[in-house]
Structure 1
Amino acid sequence: MGRCILGLTADEGKRVCNLLLQRMDLLWSGLMELVMLACGKYSLVHEFFKKVQKSSIPNALIYKVLVNTFWREGKTEEAVLAVKNMERRGIVGSAALYYDLAHCLCTSGRCQEALDLIEKICKVAKKPLVVTYTDSGNIQNAVYIFNQMRNFCPPNLATCNIMLKAYLEHGLFKEANELFNKMLDDGNHISRRSDYKFRVIPDIYTFNTMLDASIAENRWDDFEYVYQKMLRHGFHFNANRHLRMVLDASRAGKGEVLEITWKHLEQEDRIPPPPLVKERFSMMLEKEDFDSALACITTNSAGESQAFCKSAWLNLFEENDQRFRKDTLMRLMHEVRVLATQSNSPNPVLQNLLISCSDYNRPRVKVLGFKQT
């Protein structure tokens, strides 16, 4: 009997083809089940699973979809029995399957049983997944699982970030802060690549989570501390994310946060956004440090004529009226004139500032029976 190119007989080739087709059928079956699950057609998933059982042995993907279906239906015991049935058949479950089952168990409060599955997850996963939180919102269960997790596998960043968020959502700022500081401390003990297997350092999500929480709790000292650590860890000021935070901190008495941001932007050769320029200008003006105040706008206002137009300056003076002494703007006008004479070419920003100071300081007379125009 002749041999084919692969070195198989015709009969052997047929058997291989049939086996491949059977596996393709199982793959398509799993995908079909996934579509039914996504559409919420749980009854169709069960019906389809029964049909697959009659014609072939379901694979791990099909069992994973079945577990997810039972989970969404709130049938925890049925999900457990389905996995036991799979194991009796000698089918090796995937890490994702055991993870979903563990999540299902946590949802119904069966956390210890979920922990028992972690050993199975570790056997089949290259990077073990861990269960950190429960859909039922039980923070005690989340803490218990988080602490027990360390007996099975090293901590990881995703787990710590989820736990951090869980603490904060339940008003446990102290516990969140302790976890955050533990992550910071881990960063101080990393000297080689292998250290990352056993230690976790914060990422930008970690820092933003703590910044948001500090503002929500009006913990400005904590905000300043977290913000400084964020910059020192190599993360950058993001105007879309951090501008409002820095402005609020400055107006809450944490001017150092603005100064840190200012120096950070200077080091990166970045132009500060106009609201930041105006806030630092106001802060320096409040201290009557006219040189520093004017330096803010003469070096950082190029190309931002609209942000520093006459009406913008008037709005700034009106909004910050309580911050300045009565004679501060008069003295500012003098300093602006002196600075303007030292320049060979006119500076539109300084001209707008001078005109606005003059308009703002002009006495406003109101006469009864007449409207001012």
Structure 2
Amino acid sequence: MDRAAFENLDDPKRVIKKLQFSHKEMEEKIQKLAKLLNGADINLPEWIFSKTMRSARIKFCDYSITRVIIILGKLGNWRRVIQVIEWLQKRERFKSHKLRHIYTAALDALGKSRRPVEALNIFHAMQQHMSSYPDLVAYHSIAVTLGQAGHMKELFDVIDIMRSPPKKKFKTGVLENWDPRLEPDIVVYHAVLNACVRRKQWEGAFWVLQQLKEKGQQPSATTYGLVMEVMFSCGKYNLVHEFFRKLQKSFIPNSLTYRVLVNTLWKEGKTDEAILAVQEMEIRGIVGSASLYYDLARCLCAAGRSHEALKQIDKICKVANKPLVVTYTGLMQASLDSGNIQDGAYIFEKMKEICTPNLVTCNIMLKAYLEHGMFQEAKALFEQMSENANHLRRNSDYKMLVVPDTYTFNTMLDACVAEKRWDYFDDVYQRMLYRGYHFNPKRHLRMILEASKAGKERPLEITWKHLTDTDRIPSAPLIKERFCAKLEKDDYVAALTCITNNPPQDLQPFSKSSWLNLFKENSQRFQTDTIVRLMNEASNIVSNSSLPNPTLEYLMQSCKEFLFATDLSAADTDSLKNVFTVESQLVIANSR
């Protein structure tokens, strides 16, 4: 009895207690770990990721892993969810009793992030182990994800897996009668209907109704609503009305059902009937959703009844979650899509009284003005946005002031080119570069060339300086246009500098034939004596250089051929003798 094993344990000081965390402390550690993982670099090496997981100093069990995945899913970090699953799969010491729950949480997170392919990979991984084999909750999750993405074939594959025994044989042990086969329920069939909406396959809706009939299941109000959506997406408007009548016989239509009906009447051009349908819904005491009133308002805008549409704003505000600016922008866009620029402008002005238009709204209105030939109105809007940029003092100002972006500048530049307003084009282009937006050859090169040929050389010059300051090499068309612009002013030295300071790597755009075509196309811009002096200067550069310069040699040859096709004065003929001497020397040097 004196041995330690038989000592009295009533004394609390002799009892060794294991440190335990309360549920609150555990949750705080999990939250901290999830936020740490969410903020880390996505290309985190595996060993650093493992170190980060261990730094949480928590016991990784089914609950803690599931909670981390759920939090990451809410944060939208689906890549990190997959990384946690991969890390879990490599931990041989991890003993899970509810591995299926962890995978199902990952399926849900990937579904909310609209990642159907990754979710399908997780689903296939679940079928490899008995402890993680999908149950009804997992089937619901993957079916909804695939249905929302419109992956019809993959969804039917999941239904086949659901009805079939496992392809892999498991050691069931005491669970000899284990049978994971399940029959699709209403949730799975609704997922099929969602896929039919995306794929616009109205036959699939009738297949779902047939399956429910064979199983003795009555379609719900949601089922009929989804069937109506399928028919609407396929343009079967008569069937939308038919299923709406069937729905009314057994159920009370909900707000989403009325929304499909309103959109159908909108497409049929029956605006008054759409208003009556919503009034009938309100009489029945059904609370309309924000999307219903929003679609009704857009229907009215498309019909040119913007004043009535704005009256729906109060109803939208009572149930809406989205900012008002989004609602107004949608109404404005509906008016513009119907070709009603006046109503669109009216809504835009009314919007300013309630909320501040955002950049998307202003860009839509700017584009609409220009498409309808209202250049002065577009110019006024652009000037207002540019003026806002001068009042930016802190980051919070961006929430209140709308300033031009690259789309705004490009839209105005396109309009200036189309209207041949080169003075304003020059002004807008300078502002774009000043605001930090770069020259884009695919978008701006054509504009710069047209402006230069129209007599506006400044855009070309500031583009050249912009490229030089940013260590970018000008393209061949830009070099040639600046060459022609300098030559037009009889500044042949500066014209040659365009070539000598930017020696081309590709000689094809600067071949003899290319130079000759350039001279012929721009012959009205040059004086004959200017070409002669250009040849003389080019010959001097070539003769004083120890290295060959194919670009200048091709230039001299094309100039010679171009001049021989014109009438030269005696003075010009004498000045060319020096050039011919240089050419002879080049021929002898090349023959050696």
Question: What is the identity, as a one-letter code, of the residue corresponding to 2:522?
Answer: N
CA apart distance, 1:270? 1.7
Deviates more, 1:183-192 or 1:322-331: 183-192
CA apart distance, 1:92? 4.2
Do the aligned partners of residues 57 and 299 (structure 1) sit closer, same or farther apart at CA in structure 2, a change above 3 Å counting? farther
Note if contact 1:156-1:200 (Cα within 8 Å) is conserved in structure 2: yes
Deviations 1:310-365 (A, max 9, x none): 00000011111111111111111111122123333112111111111122222579
Which among 492, 514, 517 is matched to residue 290 of structure 1? 492
Question: What is the identity, as a one-letter code, of the residue corresponding to 1:270?
Answer: R
Note if contact 1:119-1:152 (Cα within 8 Å) is conserved in structure 2: no
Q: What is the DSSP-based 3-state SS (H/G/I as helix, E as strand, rest coil) of the residue aligned with 1:307?
A: helix
**Distance in 2, Cα, partners of 1:83 & 1:22:** 29
User: Aligned runs of 1:295-310 on 2, under 5 Å?
Assistant: 295-310=497-512
1:341 paired with 2:341, answer no
Question: What is the identity, as a one-letter code, of the residue corresponding to 1:90?
Answer: I
Q: What is the DSSP-based 3-state SS (H/G/I as helix, E as strand, rest coil) of the residue aligned with 1:244?
A: helix
Do the aligned partners of residues 156 and 98 (structure 1) sit closer, same or farther apart at CA in structure 2, a change above 3 Å counting? farther
1:90 paired with 2:286, answer yes
Do the aligned partners of residues 174 and 78 (structure 1) sit closer, same or farther apart at CA in structure 2, a change above 3 Å counting? same
Correspondence for 1:72: 267
Q: Which has the higher contact order (CA 8 A, sep 6+)?
A: 1
CA apart distance, 1:278? 0.2
CA apart distance, 1:177? 0.6
Note if contact 1:66-1:79 (Cα within 8 Å) is conserved in structure 2: yes
Correspondence for 1:198: 400
Which among 520, 524, 530 is matched to residue 322 of structure 1? 524
User: Aligned runs of 1:152-191 on 2, under 5 Å?
Assistant: 152-191=354-393
Note if contact 2:306-2:343 (Cα within 8 Å) is conserved in structure 1: yes
1:99 paired with 2:294, answer yes
**Distance in 1, Cα, partners of 2:405 & 2:317:** 25
CA apart distance, 1:301? 4.1
Which among 124, 137, 142 is matched to residue 339 of structure 2? 137
Deviates more, 1:278-287 or 1:265-274: 265-274
Deviations 1:262-291 (A, max 9, x none): 111222222222111100001111222233
Correspondence for 2:470: 268
Instruction: Give the number of aligned pairs.
Output: 348
**Distance in 2, Cα, partners of 1:223 & 1:90:** 55
Correspondence for 1:118: 313
**Distance in 1, Cα, partners of 2:225 & 2:500:** 66
Correspondence for 1:369: none
Deviations 1:132-178 (A, max 9, x none): 25244233222221111122322122221222222223322111111
CA apart distance, 1:307? 0.5
**Distance in 2, Cα, partners of 1:245 & 1:225:** 13
CA apart distance, 1:98? 2.7
Note if contact 1:258-1:280 (Cα within 8 Å) is conserved in structure 2: yes
Unpaired stretches in structure 2, ≥5 consecutive residues:
1-97, 99-184, 192-219, 568-592
Note if contact 2:479-2:499 (Cα within 8 Å) is conserved in structure 1: yes
TM-score (norm 2): 0.55
Residue identity over aligned pairs, in percent, reads 56
CA apart distance, 1:182? 0.7
Q: What is the DSSP-based 3-state SS (H/G/I as helix, E as strand, rest coil) of the residue aligned with 1:327?
A: helix
**Distance in 2, Cα, partners of 1:184 & 1:357:** 47
Do the aligned partners of residues 23 and 308 (structure 1) sit closer, same or farther apart at CA in structure 2, a change above 3 Å counting? closer
Deviations 1:24-73 (A, max 9, x none): 86665544333322221111111222333344444443332222111111
Question: What is the identity, as a one-letter code, of the residue corresponding to 1:233?
Answer: R
Which among 323, 338, 359 is matched to residue 127 of structure 1? 323
Note if contact 1:274-1:304 (Cα within 8 Å) is conserved in structure 2: no
Correspondence for 1:50: 245
CA RMSD of aligned residues (A): 2.6
Question: What is the identity, as a one-letter code, of the residue corresponding to 1:137?
Answer: G
Deviations 1:8-37 (A, max 9, x none): xxxxxxxxxx99899986665544333322
**Distance in 2, Cα, partners of 1:202 & 1:349:** 42
Do the aligned partners of residues 120 and 19 (structure 1) sit closer, same or farther apart at CA in structure 2, a change above 3 Å counting? farther
User: Aligned runs of 1:18-57 on 2, under 5 Å?
Assistant: 29-57=224-252
Question: What is the identity, as a one-letter code, of the residue corresponding to 1:126?
Answer: K
CA apart distance, 1:119? 3.1
Deviates more, 1:115-124 or 1:83-92: 83-92
Q: What is the DSSP-based 3-state SS (H/G/I as helix, E as strand, rest coil) of the residue aligned with 2:298?
A: helix
Deviations 1:241-260 (A, max 9, x none): 21111111111111001111
1:220 paired with 2:412, answer no
**Distance in 2, Cα, partners of 1:166 & 1:35:** 32
Deviations 1:79-126 (A, max 9, x none): 2233334445433413x4333211211122221111122233344133
Note if contact 1:274-1:301 (Cα within 8 Å) is conserved in structure 2: no
Structure 1's consecutive aligned runs of 4 or more residues displaced over 6 angstroms after TM superposition are: 18-24
Note if contact 1:154-1:197 (Cα within 8 Å) is conserved in structure 2: no
**Distance in 1, Cα, partners of 2:395 & 2:458:** 35
**Distance in 1, Cα, partners of 2:317 & 2:407:** 26
Deviates more, 1:320-329 or 1:20-29: 20-29
Note if contact 2:528-2:563 (Cα within 8 Å) is conserved in structure 1: no
**Distance in 1, Cα, partners of 2:238 & 2:411:** 40
Note if contact 2:483-2:495 (Cα within 8 Å) is conserved in structure 1: yes
Deviates more, 1:124-133 or 1:219-228: 124-133
Note if contact 2:254-2:286 (Cα within 8 Å) is conserved in structure 1: no
**Distance in 1, Cα, partners of 2:534 & 2:255:** 75
Do the aligned partners of residues 206 and 363 (structure 1) sit closer, same or farther apart at CA in structure 2, a change above 3 Å counting? closer
Note if contact 2:332-2:347 (Cα within 8 Å) is conserved in structure 1: yes
Question: What is the identity, as a one-letter code, of the residue corresponding to 1:104?
Answer: C
**Distance in 2, Cα, partners of 1:21 & 1:321:** 73
CA apart distance, 1:184? 1.0
